[in-house]
Amino acid sequence: MTKQSKQDNLKIIPLGGLGEVGRNMTLLEYQGRILIIDMGFRMPEEDMPGVDYIIPSIDYLKNKQKNILGIVFTHGHYDHIGAVPYLIRKIWREKLPIFASPLTRGIILKRQEDFSHETKLKINEVYDGSRIELGPFKIEFFRQNHNIPDNLGLFIQTPIGNILHTSDFKFDQNPVNDLPTNFEKLRGIGKRKILLMLSDSTDAEEEGHSLSEKEILKNLEEIFKSVHGRIIAATFASLINRIQQIITLSEKYGRKVCLEGYSMKTNVEICKNLGYIKAKRETFISAKQIENYPPSQITILGTGAQGEAEAVLMRIASKEHPFIKIKKGDTVIFSSSVIPGNERTVQIMKDEIMRQGAKVFHYKMMDIHAGGHAKSEELKEMIKIMTPKFFMPIHGQYSMLVAHSQLAKEMGMEEKNVIVAENGNVINLNQKRIFIEKEKVPSNYVMIDGLGIGDVGQVVLRDRQMLAEDGMFVIVVIVERQTGKVRGSPDIISRGFVYLRESKELLRDTRKRVIGIVERATGTGGAVNWSYIKDEIRNKIGQFLFSRTQRRPMILPVVIEV
């Protein structure tokens, strides 16, 4: 293939969302001009202490601001919009075109307000049927059912051919407070010759069909019917359909709803204003008012079903919530499925809640979980409707992408036309073939810690893991400059390593060694390489402590000259 023709390939560059759940962000590039689809974050893994979120790396876009045609958002879930406040500044230019449905727009703008020093965004509203043109890309938005309203799939005409991006989706003939899937419209799109389909893989490993939102409502209602104490329901703040269902059922069964958690309150506010959540004004009460009602008339709806440290449910479970304590007779509903990597934390939290006397319903016991994603039968149906020439699974762990690619092959697609890609791959597409370039673009984790962006690197993370696992060990040595002798006995401070009072012998031996290391190196005074001495202490004492305790605390030598 000549250079010229490779230049004319369409490039698909996933910066996140492949091989993981969350952090969705994909670039389409044609002749150097770039369209961005979604900018999401993901939750940290359990071995990343202190990290709040992980966002995509956009190093690839460095010095390419001028080439960015615009950003389109599919829906308002944080794994599709969450990275905006952290990333937008780096690619921002006046009048950068941004498009989102009204609800998605509302959620993005509200979050942006919370970062008051951040860029004020202008976002254009798009709806089912809207058409826009950005450089060589003509984009048509079409409604897709999911577990948040106002979710849009993308039909994109490019000079190479038509691309279909499903967004997250499921087929739902009986949604709650939303329109059913418009199969006729989807078939119409499918007739327009799809060259490549990018399709949601989150539930590709699940057999059968996803549950209709009506079905989930029925299951939730079983709980509401049988429970007489308070109901504490935890879900994602962006799982708008679930929030609506819990409000609807609370009203039906004579319960007041106390919303807890900042993101829950703001999302409900945005949705109420836009008409996406229907509720009576008098349904809502504040946490302080809970005691004014009998338990049978109370629903508490909060965030935290993933065991997030700062979320409402965790604060209730760990008895840190100022007003809400678990009482005997309470029923706690975890109404979203657990994201891979959070299982252990959720389990511990669940145990704690039960220990405090509450009954727990979780998604494995009844179908009350997210269920927002198409399962294998629906995914096959989507492939059948769109009959794309090429197929690339997106959104999901690697095993989900593979399962989805198998489904495509079951549907008769040729092996060479189905591509399982990873973050950072540059996928080339032309009318004849699809292939991955050898060179990858950066797609590493960028970690967000409080408001800091990307200043938590691998080194900081390793330190935190070390501190969390084996604690720390500070050695303070005072050295007389003139003689090179250690004055007195080195001070030792330790946290999370061993109980010092019961380790007298270990401490005595450690001190002796520290004195030995320092005095060997200082000789008889004069010019001394202090950083060498610190390294020696760190290494030798590290080995010594490990040989005695099988632990590797972080060692911080402090050498003071007098």
CA dihedral sign of residues 341, 165, 385, 212: positive
- Which residue in the list 172, 200, 330, 449 is annotated as catalytic? 200
- Which residue in the list 369, 373, 395, 404 is annotated as catalytic? 373
Give the separation between CA 234 and CA 221, rounded to whole angstroms. 16
CB of 167 to Zn ion, least distance (A): 8
- Work out whether 42 is an interface residue with Zn ion (CB under 5 A): no
Q: Answer for the pair 216, 235: CB distance below 8 angstroms, yes or no.
A: no
Q: Answer for the pair 151, 128: CB distance below 8 angstroms, yes or no.
A: no
- Work out whether 168 is an interface residue with Zn ion (CB under 5 A): yes
Which lies closer to Zn ion via its Cβ, residue 168 or residue 449?
168
Site string for Zn ion, 9-38 (x = CB under 5 A): ------------------------------
Neighbours of 63 (CB within 10 A): 6
3-state SS string for 108-153: HHHHHHHCCCCCCCCCEECCCCCEEEECCEEEEEEECCCCCCCCEE
CB of 349 to Zn ion, least distance (A): 23
Which lies closer to Zn ion via its Cβ, residue 77 or residue 404?
77
Give the separation between CA 478 and CA 487, rounded to whole angstroms. 5
DSSP 491-516: EEEEESS--GGG-HHHHHHHHHHHHH
| 178 carries an active-site annotation | no
- Work out whether 206 is an interface residue with Zn ion (CB under 5 A): no
Give the separation between CA 197 and CA 166, rounded to whole angstroms. 8
The stretch among 160-168, 293-301, 425-433, 478-486 that binds Zn ion (CB under 5 A) is 160-168
Which residue's entry shows tokens 């087929």?
171
Neighbours of 103 (CB within 10 A): 24
Which lies closer to Zn ion via its Cβ, residue 21 or residue 518?
21
Residue of 11, 23, 42, 77 interacting with Zn ion (CB under 5 A): 77
Number of residues engaging Zn ion in binding (CB under 5 A): 2
Within 292-442, where are the H helices? 312-317, 343-355, 376-386, 398-410
| 321 carries an active-site annotation | no
CB of 337 to Zn ion, least distance (A): 12
Which lies closer to Zn ion via its Cβ, residue 368 or residue 461?
368
CB of 314 to Zn ion, least distance (A): 23
The stretch among 77-85, 157-165, 182-190, 229-237 that binds Zn ion (CB under 5 A) is 77-85
| Interacting positions 452-471 with Zn ion (CB under 5 A) | none
CB of 372 to Zn ion, least distance (A): 6
Catalytic residue list: 200, 373
Residues near Zn ion, by CB under 5 A = 77, 168
